[in-house]
A and B are shown apart, each in its own frame.
Chain A
Amino acid sequence: MDSNDARRRLTGVPRLSQMNPLSRREFLRRMGYGALFVAGGPTLLAACGDGTGDDAAGCTFASTNSGDNKQINFANWTLYIDVLEDGWFETTSLEDFEAATGIKVNYLEEINDNDSWFGKVQGQMTACANIERDIAVLTDWMAARFIRQGWAEELNKANLPNAVNLTDSLKSPGFDPNRTYTLPWQSGLTAIGYNPQLTGRELTSINDIFDPAFAGKVTMLTEMRDTLGLVMLGMGIDPATPSLADAEAATDKIRQNVENGHIRRFTGNDYGDDLTAGNVVAAFAWSGDIIQLQLDNPDLQFVIPDEGLMLWSDNMLIPAGAPNKDAAEQYMNSVYDPRVAAKIESWVNYICPVKGAQQAMRDLGAEIEDEDLVALADDPLIFPDQATLSKTHIFKNLDEEEERQFNDLFQAVIGA
């Protein structure tokens, strides 16, 4: 008995290197068959990968309200609802809602970025699977995409009596003219945030951002509609009705300023770090961020430019097939109670889409005897006056083809 046999008996397993040549070849051959079997997949895969979207027409979502409506899953952005820490109140608006209705809200801070969240759920939505989210908060254009794909449930207006409190300027956006599918969660302004100490002068125009004195010290936003919209306003183009040629003109202007090093970066809300650190002196910025950043650096200013500024909103919608639709609508309705809205707003600091919230915030401030909260109700960036609102513009509701073309142009300019 040779030692190989002994070892084989000990372990009961022949090693690959100990097999005789024939059986090793045989082994590899069989593995080859296996690989061939797998490689036969492409036909199959080409078939299933072909026309991903056509499947969408072929499948249907589960009917809503399949759940017990005792709890909802609420997907929202980070730092986008009132919490106790740094807040004004003893309870949060979510706790109030749970106490009043017995509906548990699983609040998920899982949206950092419209595109990434879309990337996460699109596979399941395309296959009409339940993503187990009863409410998702999405920016206008992403909400538009959900509606276009048939991925949003129609709201039952009977469950939403408070929706009458929706502010007039947001009642009929292009992507959802009758607010059939969506209700705004917050809206906000996009314009220029800057540090007057570092610019050495007051900024009044969008085109001030192209001042050669600020070379390499300005940033713009990766959010296409905000950046293109502002640049277009500066060029005298109406962002509500841009043609492809207008988009090309605006991206050309941005490209020149990228290539000569004038524009330092394109950012999400991380422009805040650069602005407070002084790496950047002026940036395309969101109003709510600047209010927050002013706590760290009171010098920072938010300009309402002469040419106008952009208005956007993030909208609550119910993804198709949501299991607890009634409970979700009950929650949406509660948010449109001015007192609840005021409470959320006292922490979030974007623009409140609910009529009466300003007065409610003053009342709440008086009740807890806090002058700061009363004063917050008069912040023009949270409750903008009519003069400011009349200067706001909403970007065109692009169709699929345009969205692709505009994105192509813009992404090429911002480096990718």
Chain B
Amino acid sequence: MSAVGREVSSSAPTAAWRRKLVPYGLLLPGGLWLIIFFVVPMLRLVSVSLQTGIYPRYRFAWAWSNYAELVTNYGGQAVNSLVYAFLATAIAFLIAYPLAYFIAFRGGRWKNFLLVMLLMPFLMPFLLRTLSWKIILADHGLLVDLLKSVHLLGEDGRLLATGVAVVAGIVYNFLAFMTLPIYVSLEKIDRSLVEAANDLYASPAVAFRKVTFPLSRPGVVAGTLLTFIPAVGDYVNAVLLGTPQQFMIGNVIQSRFLVVLDYPVAAALSFTLMIVTVLLIIPYVRAAGTEDLVA
């Protein structure tokens, strides 16, 4: 015992140091990753966004006017982005919640099968999935003919190349991101809590409102964020399923960056998009409770 004690005391300073250093060591891989692949590129993005000039001769000039272009030139596309992303998130939620509920509580032995079915479309490339919507929504397709015959769509009406098609495409492409987190949090719910509510004379609706839904909220928050954030920046659905009137801010960034070679404005728009998204999310997460996100 004394030998052990002596050994501990002799190496105590080193051990103390090691203890102090270990948390930093643990942070190192993730921290370095963040610094190299997020912080540095982000600073570079901000620096580029304040430059002016014609490719490839940009110079740094505190050109804040690049940021004004969002409002002056691309207000329409910015509004499209927010509206489509919001609608798509809401619709995806309305589809995903009952779906996740069914799989979690009524799936029984089919549970795994149903989850695989949910993920099956994701084995197909993103572009192909989006292009398939062109077949479903085609001007002379079954769906359009059906809607025309019940007069929900005018004689010259169409679905493809409209905002409806763009929102449908976004909903479909992000549906699994909404469903899976909700499923996981529903699955984790202790059934005896629901039973207890029933025992205490809660009707199924009340039990759902007071027990099941609040307990599934972490999944709802995660799902809506996982859908909304990528949807705001999406541009593929607008290109393939929309017309220029449906273009979103992602389309502008893509064209400024790749076609016009206007890197400063592209960078300013990207950075603004990020800030706006964060500003929108903060009150949402606050209201929903941060614990929900990490629970």
Contact = CB atoms under 8 A, between A and B. Distances in A.
B258 A416 contact: no
Contact of B134 (A115, A273, A416): A273
A278 B140 CA distance: 7
B257 A54 contact: no
A380 interface: no
A13 B26 contact: yes
Residue of B40, B243, B251 with most chain A CB atoms under a 10 A cut-off: B243
Interface in A244-268: 258, 261, 263-266
A168 B4 CA distance: 93
A401 B23 CA distance: 54
A258 B242 CA distance: 12
Given A258-B244, A258-B245, A52 B56 contact: yes
B171 to A, nearest CB: 21
Given A115-B259, A266-B244, A407-B259, A46 B60 contact: yes
Interface string B134-165: 11001110000000000000001010110000
A270 to B, nearest CB: 8
A53 B138 contact: no
Contacts of B138: 277-279
Interface in B8-57: 18-20, 22-24, 26-27, 31, 35, 39-40, 43-44, 46-48, 51, 54-57
A31 B256 CA distance: 37
B145 to A, nearest CB: 13
A415 B258 contact: no
B47 A49 contact: yes
B43 A416 contact: no
Given A118-B258, A264-B161, A416 B26 contact: no
Given A53-B56, A415-B244, A404 B19 contact: no
B122 interface: no
A14 B43 contact: no
B247 interface: yes
Interface residues of B, number: 55
Contacts of B46: 42
Contacts, number: 138
Nearest to B255: A416
Contacts of A34: 31
B81 interface: no
Nearest to A279: B139
Q: What DSSP secondary structure best describes chain B's contact surface?
A: helix
A38 interface: yes
A93 B218 CA distance: 59
Interface in B212-246: 240, 242-246
A54 B57 CA distance: 6
A1 B82 CA distance: 57
A368 interface: no
Interface string B241-283: 0111111000110111111111000000000000000000000
Contacts of B40: 38, 41, 45
Given A42-B47, A119-B258, A412-B73, A149 B56 contact: yes
Interface string B114-141: 0000000000000000010011001110
Given A41-B40, A258-B244, A416-B255, A404 B139 contact: no
Nearest to A13: B22
A30 interface: yes
A49 B44 contact: yes
A286 B262 CA distance: 28
B23 A264 contact: no
B209 interface: no
B77 A416 contact: yes
B161 A416 contact: no
Nearest to B158: A216
Given A14-B23, A149-B56, A216-B161, A49 B51 contact: yes
Interface string A385-416: 00000000000000011001001100111111
A38 B35 contact: yes
Contacts of A278: 138-140
A8 B16 CA distance: 11
Contacts of B105: none
Nearest to B22: A13
Nearest 7 interchain pairs by C-beta = A415-B244, A53-B56, A416-B255, A415-B247, A115-B258, A50-B60, A53-B57
Given A14-B22, A279-B140, A416-B252, 15 more contacts: A13-B19, A13-B26, A16-B23, A45-B44, A119-B258, A258-B244, A273-B134, A277-B139, A404-B261, A407-B261, A411-B255, A411-B256, A414-B255, A415-B247, A415-B251
21 contacts: A13-B26, A16-B23, A19-B23, A38-B35, A38-B43, A41-B43, A46-B47, A49-B47, A51-B57, A115-B259, A116-B258, A122-B56, A258-B244, A265-B243, A265-B244, A279-B160, A400-B55, A401-B54, A415-B246, A416-B77, A416-B244
